[in-house]
């Protein structure tokens, strides 16, 4: 059977889709990917003649995908299956007319089984992880166990995605994952809901690491077929296993030798970890600060870290000459303006090179959703959730605009700390909010240019063209021209916009 994925073009390749493609291929099925937006997607979908149309959906994008799914069914008559976090945690979506099946949890077993049953006319009642309509009700089949050995799953099959988009294929910075799961229970992250509410799994059962050999073999396989000069390791916590990390850092330089970046957990990070990573080729590391307030960080967000953990891990990274990026989260229920400003001050004190800041979104089934509502704060309806977690908050604070203003000024104030005494007054202004957004977008562009220059130096490709100031002018001019073209000719130029977006540090807010 031919399974067609309809997927938005994102600034990073979708490895989950690629793992599903590998599982489908092992079961004898074919995977095709159509990336949106594409003015010819309807004709391409009809030409592909799918037996099944698949979507991976997150909250915020679900309204868009419902419209696409309805049109896809109208064009082909093929059944539609949804997977991903939104489908898993809001499975009642299967009762909508445009959706036939929902895959809850991991899909490497369920999706091939569904394709086989549909192709052979077999009943679907035994397909674990599947939900479907039973009259006006939802029927949930039992869950199969988590995949216990990631090496057995094999490497993700990137070919269908790369065939669909040369932007992913030709980009010389590619994403790799060495694990699934997480031991921790950060209240805003999907992991605790996936682990505790869906699978009822223990921590070590849920956290699964690929062997170092398996990871290195995948990297070499990708490098032999596609451009590859830099590696983004997208694991939530790269340093969760000391023995694994030691083996990786010892073998990686000889086996691969490419520069890379990682996400580290502050209370696990030691000076020795950072030295190992630096010697292996790490040039950039992310630390999840989230909040400076002990109450917000540990009682509301449930991070289980101390301020010393945050400061010390940042110091180790700076000492090693590694670019320091932080993950920060504004808009906690019950947080004061002083709490939020303290997070900004912490970034200033630690000399953060690239502060990434998000606005809290209480996604379905996460504990922060319950915490927020229990504290009496209204949360936007699911259909009103923002597609981007770094534009607006979905929590109805009285000071909503102050949190959103602080978010826009946050990265600028970290670099220019003389702004700090003015911040309490600046964030109160509603009239200046559009200007803050413009400043945020421009300064974010410049930080990306700095980051690109550091990557270029690490890969030996730096030149006057990669100097941040010149690259900034190029990027701003390119985006301005694209907006003008799109205003006249429509979204046909969106792929050019994505090419610029893929250079940005747009990784989703990690739960590390």
Residue 468 in domain: no
Task: Please return the burial class of 396, using the count of CB atoms within 10 Å of its CB with bins 0-12, 13-18 and 19+.
Answer: exposed
Give the structural domain span for 65: 2-140
Residues 45 and 124 in one domain: yes
List the one residue out of 48, 24, 53 whose CA is nearest residue 116. Answer: 24
Domain final position from 390, 408, 425: 425
Instruction: Give the tens place of pLDDT for each residue, 33-56.
Output: 999 888 899 999 999 999 999 999
Backbone angles phi, psi at 312, to 5 degrees: -65, -45
Rounded to whole angstroms, how far apart are CA atoms 153 and 151?
A: 5
* pLDDT above 90: residue 306: yes
Answer yes or no: pTM beyond 0.85.
yes
Question: Do 288 and 236 touch, CB atoms closer than 8 A?
Answer: no
Query: 365 pLDDT exceeds 60?
Result: yes
- Residue 409 pLDDT exceeds 50: yes
For residue 490, the model assigns a pLDDT of 56
The predicted pLDDT at position 505 comes to 42
* Mean of all residue pLDDT scores within the chain: 91
The percent of residues in the chain predicted with pLDDT above 70, rounded, is: 93
**Structure tokens, 378:** 């209204």
Tell me what the mean pLDDT of segment 332-351 comes to: 96
Would the pLDDT of 486 be above 80? no
509 pLDDT above the threshold of 60? no
Checking if the pLDDT of 335 tops 60, the result is yes
When mean pLDDT is compared across 12-16, 259-263, 350-354, 493-497, the lowest value belongs to 493-497
* pLDDT score of 259: 97
Across 144-148, 192-196, 305-309, 381-385, least confident range: 381-385
Please say which residue of 140, 160, 192 terminates a domain: 140
Cβ atoms 78, 54 nearer than 8 A: no
The verdict on 180 and 106 lying in the same domain is: no
3-state SS class at 355: strand
pLDDT band of 203, cuts 50, 70, 90: confident
Taking only the tens place, the pLDDT of each residue in 162-198 is 999 998 999 999 999 999 999 999 999 999 999 999 9
For residues 317 and 401, state if they share a domain.
yes
pLDDT digits (tens, 9 = 90+) for 71-106: 999 999 999 999 999 999 999 999 999 999 999 999
The distance in angstroms from the start CA to the end CA of the chain is 39
**Max avg pLDDT among 229-233, 464-468, 470-474:** 229-233
pLDDT at site 40: 92
In this prediction, what percent of the chain has a pLDDT beyond 90?
75
Ranges 107-116, 353-362, 499-508: which has the least confidence = 499-508
**CATH number of the domain enclosing 39:** 3.40.50.280
- Is residue 491 predicted with pLDDT exceeding 70? no
Alpha carbons 25 and 157: distance in angstroms, whole number: 9
Please give the average per-residue pLDDT across 112-131, as a whole number: 97
Residue 413 has pLDDT above 90, yes or no: yes
In this predicted structure, the answer to whether residue 390 has a pLDDT above a threshold of 70 is: no
Residues 330 and 258 in one domain: yes
Least confident of 137-151, 401-415, 489-503: 489-503
Shared domain check, 71 and 16 = yes
Nearest Cα neighbor of 325 from 285, 361, 298 is 285
Helix (H) or strand (E) holding 161: helix 159-164
In a domain, 119, yes or no: yes
How distant, in Å, are the alpha carbons of 271, 312, 327 from that of 319? 9, 10, 19
* pLDDT bucket at 253, cuts 50 / 70 / 90: very high
Is the same domain home to 88 and 193? no
Q: What distance lies between CA 270 and its chain's CA centroid?
A: 26
Residue 219 sits in a domain whose CATH number is 3.20.20.70
Please tell me the predicted confidence (pLDDT) of residue 511.
Answer: 37
Q: How many domains does the chain have?
A: 2
Residues 6+ apart with CB under 8 A from 178: 209, 210, 215, 233, 235, 238, 244, 248
Final residue of a structural domain among 425, 454, 480: 425
Judge if 187 and 111 occupy the same domain. Answer: no
Question: Do 234 and 347 belong together in one domain?
Answer: yes
Q: Does the pLDDT value for residue 296 go beyond 90?
A: yes
Distance separating alpha carbons of residues 4 and 33, to the nearest angstrom: 6
Give the DSSP H or E segment for 217. Answer: helix 212-225
pLDDT of residue 502: 45
**CA-to-CA distance for 216 and 208, rounded, in angstroms?**
17
Q: Give yes or no for residue 510 having a pLDDT over 70.
A: no
pLDDT(493) > 60? no
């Amino acid at each position: 059977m031919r399974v067609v994925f309809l997927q938005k073009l994102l600034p990073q390749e979708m490895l989950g889709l690629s793992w599903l493609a590998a599982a489908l291929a092992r079961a004898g099925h074919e995977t095709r990917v159509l990336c949106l937006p594409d003015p010819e997607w309807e004709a391409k979908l009809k030409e592909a003649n799918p037996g099944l149309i698949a979507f991976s959906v997150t909250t915020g994008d679900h309204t868009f995908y419902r419209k696409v799914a309805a049109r896809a069914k109208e064009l082909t008559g093929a059944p539609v299956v949804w997977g991903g976090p939104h489908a898993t945690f809001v499975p009642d979506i299967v009762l909508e007319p445009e959706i036939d099946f929902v895959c809850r949890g991991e899909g490497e077993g369920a999706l091939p089984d569904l394709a086989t049953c549909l192709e052979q006319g077999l009943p679907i009642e035994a397909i674990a992880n599947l939900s479907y309509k039973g009259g006006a009700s939802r029927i949930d089949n039992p869950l199969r166990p988590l995949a216990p050995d990631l090496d057995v799953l094999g490497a993700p099959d990137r070919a269908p995605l790369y065939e669909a988009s040369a932007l992913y294929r030709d980009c010389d910075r590619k994403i790799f994952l060495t694990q699934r799961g997480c031991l921790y229970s950060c209240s805003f992250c999907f992991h605790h809901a996936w682990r505790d509410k869906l699978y009822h799994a223990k921590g070590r059962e849920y956290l699964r690491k690929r062997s170092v050999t398996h990871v290195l073999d995948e990297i070499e396989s990708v490098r032999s077929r596609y451009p590859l000069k830099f590696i983004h390791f997208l694991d939530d916590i790269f340093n969760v296993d000391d023995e694994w990390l030691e083996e990786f850092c010892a073998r990686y330089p000889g086996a691969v030798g490419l520069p890379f970046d990682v996400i580290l957990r502050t209370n696990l990070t030691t000076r020795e970890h950072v030295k190992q990573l630096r010697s292996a080729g790490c040039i950039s590391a992310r630390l999840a600060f989230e909040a400076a307030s002990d109450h917000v960080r540990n009682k509301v967000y449930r991070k289980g870290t101390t301020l010393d953990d945050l400061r010390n891990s940042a110091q180790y990274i700076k000492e090693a000459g590694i670019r320091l990026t932080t993950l920060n989260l504004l808009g906690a229920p019950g947080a004061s303006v002083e709490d939020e400003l303290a997070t900004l001050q912490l970034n200033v004190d630690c000399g953060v090179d690239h502060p990434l800041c998000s606005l809290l979104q209480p996604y379905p089934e996460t504990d922060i959703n319950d915490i927020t509502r229990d504290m009496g704060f209204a949360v936007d309806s699911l259909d009103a959730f923002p597609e981007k977690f770094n534009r607006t908050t979905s929590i109805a604070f009285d000071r909503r605009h102050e949190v959103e203003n602080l978010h826009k000024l946050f990265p600028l104030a970290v670099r220019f700390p003389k702004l700090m005494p003015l911040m309490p007054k600046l964030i109160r202004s509603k009239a200046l909010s559009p200007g803050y957004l413009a400043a945020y977008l421009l300064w974010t562009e410049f930080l990306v240019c700095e980051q690109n220059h550091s990557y270029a130096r690490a890969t030996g490709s730096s030149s006057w063209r990669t100097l941040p100031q010149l690259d900034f002018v190029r990027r701003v001019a390119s985006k301005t021209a694209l907006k003008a073209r799109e205003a006249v000719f429509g979204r046909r130029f969106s792929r050019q916009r994505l090419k610029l977006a893929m250079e940005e540090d747009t990784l989703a807010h990690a739960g590390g």
